[in-house]
A and B are shown apart, each in its own frame.
Chain A
Amino acid sequence: MSPLFQTLLLVGDIIFLLLIFVLVKRNRLSVRFSLPWLGLSVGLLILAIWPEVAKILRGILQVEVVSNMVFIILFCFVLLVLLILCAVVSDYNDRIKRLTQTNAILEHRVRQLEQQNMQNKTNK
């Protein structure tokens, strides 16, 4: 790895880490969802500081080129995150449905009580 590329990787990764911290700090990203991204940026930081780690991993996994291995790992990571996000969206969909239904039943109850109230007033 050339020193220039290593420096770029380091700077890019630090910006990425800072961005995650800023988002969490400003309540734009919950700590729960920041964890996989923090994990990813720490992993990239390790690779940027000690490129040998990538070579050792390549040896273990028997991949010919280091960059291919990095791409495969990143692609799997993104796929996993997308799947988890779909599960989270499904869960929220269910919660919104429940909330909508409860809201409608409450609104019906309020309407009924208002009508009763009106009738009571006119009877008096």
Chain B
Amino acid sequence: MNVLVIIPCYNEAENICRVVERLKSVCPDVDYLVVNDCSTDHSAAILSKNGYNYLDLPLNLGIGGGVQSGYLYAVANNYDITVQIDGDGQHDPHYLHDVIRPIAEGKLDMCIGSRFIKKEGFQTSFMRRVGIRFLSGLIHLLTGEKILDVTSGYRACGREMTEWFAQHYAQDYPEPEAIVSAICNGYRVGEVPVVMEERQAGVSSIRAFKSIYYMIKVSLALVIHRLGATQKGK
């Protein structure tokens, strides 16, 4: 099975080399694609200089639009499984095969690497955990599925799921929305435990002043998604 790892990258000049080199040394059997989302630092130059496989978006689309470009690339190049990992080094490639396994065995269509199952490693700040728990509860209420780490960007998708996401993917803060739209359209979504690390350098895209907008926007999007879709069995 050929696997593509999508690494969205926005102003990750300090991290991106480490992330790609670590992935290449731990999982030499998988292909990777860095999606440079029109970074304003010298990320593009680093990617080009090191001869990495990358897409260079001419406009900044946000994480959702960037990851979706990766899904489009995966569909165009006929990959069986796509895995998304963050460009900031939080996601350890040692868990890559754990995340892929349920997809390869045909048990799930989307598998999320969750830091809250075993509660090991970096658990993020208290306020974020409250937010994540709220969204997790909301998703449980809307779909009946219990997903703990709804904002985790460490996730693997099978071929059909990838084709679906290549056509339908939210543009900003897409992770929780992707879960609801996948479940509502009859795809099987589950989690496996992973250990995450704190971001190695740079700043996260979600800062304090944005968090209220984030919660309102995501909650509204989840409810609208659910209202607009009748849950299909598969």
Q: Do A and B interact with each other, yes or no? A: yes
Q: Which residues of A contact B (CB under 8 A)?
A: 93, 96-97, 100-105, 107-108
Residues of B within 8 A of A100 (CB): 57-59, 61, 65, 69
Bin chain B's interface residue count.
10 to 19
**Interface membership of B68, Cβ < 8 A:** yes
Restricting to B57-102, which residues have a CB under 8 Å from any CB of A?
57-59, 61, 65, 68-69, 72-73, 76
Is the beta-carbon distance between A105 and B171 smaller than 8 angstroms? no
Contact A108 B73 (CB under 8 A): yes
Contact between A101 and B56 (Cβ–Cβ < 8 Å)? no
Q: Which residue in chain B gives the minimum CB-CB distance to A108?
A: B55
Instruction: Please give me the residue from chain B that is nearest to A102 by CB atom.
Output: B72
Chain B residues within an 8 Å CB radius of A102: 72
Within 196-230 of B, Cβ neighbours of A (below 8 Å) are at: none
How many CB-defined contacts (below 8 Å) exist between A and B? 39
Could you name 5 residue pairs across A and B whose Cβ atoms are closer than 8 Å?
Answer: A97-B61, A104-B57, A105-B55, A105-B69, A105-B73
Bound CA span A81–B171, Å: 25
Dominant secondary structure of chain A at its interface with chain B: helix
The answer to whether A104 and B55 have CB atoms under 8 Å apart is yes
Output the nearest chain A residue to B69 by Cβ-Cβ distance: A101
Q: Are B68 and A101 in contact (CB under 8 A)?
A: yes
In the complex, how many angstroms separate the beta carbon of B150 from the nearest chain A beta carbon? Answer: 23
Q: Are B59 and A96 in contact (CB under 8 A)?
A: yes
CA gap between A104 and B9 in the complex, in Å = 14
**In the complex, which residues of chain A have a beta carbon less than 8 angstroms from the beta carbon of B59?**
96, 100
